[in-house]
Structure 1
């Protein structure tokens, strides 16, 4: 391993302690490395703006940082256990190539604000992806709701309750994911603040060009208080994970529905073949494994959020405990986004079994419609309710699922799908 950045003498560092201190940092930093390089470029430019590095030194540092990014992306430079972390690797490379200019690059910054800005840039990228996925899922659901909607049972307590439709089912998740896209954007806007220049949490005695780094890195604003920059670590990560978790909570309920609807007992849905797997022992089985793992995906995000929350039982200022938050953040987002990436195609290609759903609609499922119609005609609702309960077995006489839905799910009725309003919200968001 190269000499740690914080090493102040030639005394040896216990290898076991170094392994414990480094943990998985150098592996996890591969995820944030390109963002760290980009932030380093902005920092170098800022140092040049205030005369800490010369124009020639700035040009050389920027050239070598670009070369390092290319080498890392191509695999010719590997971030491995030669280095304590990604920050050490950047400085070691620049020093190797440029000598004193490389040694000057860390002026005015700490690994504390270095990891803050790298993870903040990474989070903005991931939250942008989250918003895009939620919008795509919502769009698929809107189009399928507007398509060939067919009647199906609506359930409460997993018991047949009223007549519903596939359009109503898709519209529900369309609205959910419009909200989820908005939640992702809100989280993005909240964390869109530049911590670079706050150093170890107390600033530095040099007039860093923080306006330049804020603009150069595409942040909407800077974090003003150096102490708060450290306090925000973990807090902002939890907010971002909350946004992923919100989308995955809806995914979990959607997946639960599909898990039930694909059973032989329901048999309402047929999934595309690649979303099912065979049993290793039972030749007759095709299992909805993808749907079941979609249902499970929220757990990884919830665990990541909980781990970070438990780390934050800390006083103000930087504490090394926060190093553990990187792994939680990475695993939570990686698992969450991988699940959401599958939903648009799955929802676009799943097929409803119209005959099976229509056969599951029982006469008693019209009883609520009967009671409300009588109440509108002047019968006190509780009396109409009791009368409908007594005649529930024949409540469907003379009715069809389509006529029941038309009475409730059409413009001017008590409820309609309002898909144009959902489309407008999706466009505005």
Structure 2
């Protein structure tokens, strides 16, 4: 390992203790590395503005940071056990290439605000991806709701047959759900879009750092003003991002549950694209819906990450090394969660309904609610109408098309209000 940035003369570093403290930080920092480079470039520009660096030093630093980013992308530079973390790797590389100019790069900053700003940039990128995936999912669901508005589909409560519903209602529900998820992702992005760079270790420094410049250069919506709060917000902002992710994954879990049921022989309502299924290692007759089962399980990663970070935050103010463990939690949650959501739009585009099986599942009892409402509309008190409609002798095989056409309450099968949902999508894309 390269010489540690904080190593003091005469103090021997115990390798076992250092390994425990560093953990897998250097591996995890590969996620942040390009963002850390971007932040280092903005910080160097700010240092030049206040006279710590001259123009030539800044030019050399910007050039070498660009080369480092290119080398990292190509694999020519590997962030590995030679370094304590990504921050020290950047500094070591700049010192190696530029000497004293590289030694100046850390003026006015701490690894505390370095990791904070890299985390913010990373979260901003991931939340933008989350919003885009939710928006795409909503677009697919909305298009299919329009196309399949009158396709009958049994509606269930308590997993029991309840009323006649439609594929249009099923799709519209997911369309609105993922519109909400996209809105929440964008709102969370706006909330975490605050620049902590220049807060140093949480108490500022005796330099007039160009924090307004770094805020603008990195594209942040605002500067996080209080240096002390910048440290207090670590973990808090990550939890908010995970909660936005979890909102989408919670809907994905329920959608995947529907598809898990609908693809069984007992329901037989849906055929999945072949590439979304796998075979059994022993049973030649099997095609298993592994993809939707793993989609269903993805929420667990977000729930676990949120709990892990929440438990880390039982701390007084100021920085504490405990917070190092928050990185792995967010990487795991977003890695698994976005991986599942990336597969969802194409799955929804290509799944196929089996209309004959869907219609066959519509038994006479599922028209009883329609009957009760019709009697009430004709003037009978609803409780009396309910009692009469509960009598199986009054049931007959109804007409699903007529049942759906009569369901005129706003948001129901005959009035899906897809235009209102479409307008919300347009606003999201603006």
Please give the TM-score of this superposition, normalised by the length of structure 1. Answer: 0.98
CA contact (8 A) 1:131 1:180 kept: yes
2 CA distance for matches of 1:54 and 1:10?
34
Summarize the Cα distance change of 1:321–1:412 in structure 2 as closer, same or farther, 3 Å threshold: closer
CA contact (8 A) 2:112 2:200 kept: yes
2:175 is equivalent to residue 174 of structure 1: yes
CA contact (8 A) 2:195 2:223 kept: yes
The SS at the match of 2:147 is coil
Aligned residue number for residue 123 of structure 1: 123
Gaps of 5+ in 1: none
- CA deviations on 1:20-54 (whole Å, 9 max, x unpaired) are 11101000000100000000000000000000111
2 CA distance for matches of 1:235 and 1:416?
41
Aligned residue number for residue 93 of structure 1: 93
Aligned residue number for residue 311 of structure 2: 310
The SS at the match of 1:146 is helix
Aligned residue number for residue 276 of structure 1: 277
- CA deviations on 1:178-205 (whole Å, 9 max, x unpaired) are 0000000011010000000000000001
2:147 is equivalent to residue 132 of structure 1: no
Give the Å deviation of 1:109.
0.1
Summarize the Cα distance change of 1:281–1:414 in structure 2 as closer, same or farther, 3 Å threshold: closer
The SS at the match of 1:339 is helix
Aligned residue number for residue 75 of structure 1: 75
Give the Å deviation of 1:393.
5.0
Aligned residue number for residue 421 of structure 1: 420
- CA deviations on 1:366-424 (whole Å, 9 max, x unpaired) are 1101101111111000000000001x354335x31000000005889896211111000
2 CA distance for matches of 1:322 and 1:412?
46
CA contact (8 A) 1:363 1:394 kept: no
Residue pairs, 1:242-391, within 5 angstroms: 242-390=243-391
CA contact (8 A) 2:117 2:195 kept: yes
1 CA distance for matches of 2:322 and 2:40?
24
Give the Å deviation of 1:343.
0.6
Aligned residue number for residue 50 of structure 1: 50
Considering only aligned residues, what root-mean-square deviation do their CA atoms show, in Å? 1.3
2 CA distance for matches of 1:171 and 1:27?
42
1 CA distance for matches of 2:18 and 2:413?
67
Gaps of 5+ in 2: none
Summarize the Cα distance change of 1:234–1:291 in structure 2 as closer, same or farther, 3 Å threshold: same
Please give the TM-score of this superposition, normalised by the length of structure 2. Answer: 0.98
Aligned residue number for residue 396 of structure 2: 396
Deviates more, 1:407-416 or 1:286-295: 407-416
Summarize the Cα distance change of 1:180–1:310 in structure 2 as closer, same or farther, 3 Å threshold: same
2:389 is equivalent to residue 405 of structure 1: no
CA contact (8 A) 2:405 2:413 kept: no
CA contact (8 A) 1:364 1:393 kept: no
CA contact (8 A) 2:152 2:400 kept: yes
Summarize the Cα distance change of 1:300–1:385 in structure 2 as closer, same or farther, 3 Å threshold: same
Deviates more, 1:356-365 or 1:8-17: 8-17
CA contact (8 A) 1:363 1:393 kept: no
- CA deviations on 1:276-322 (whole Å, 9 max, x unpaired) are 11111111111100010000000011101110000000000000000
Deviates more, 1:368-377 or 1:190-199: 368-377
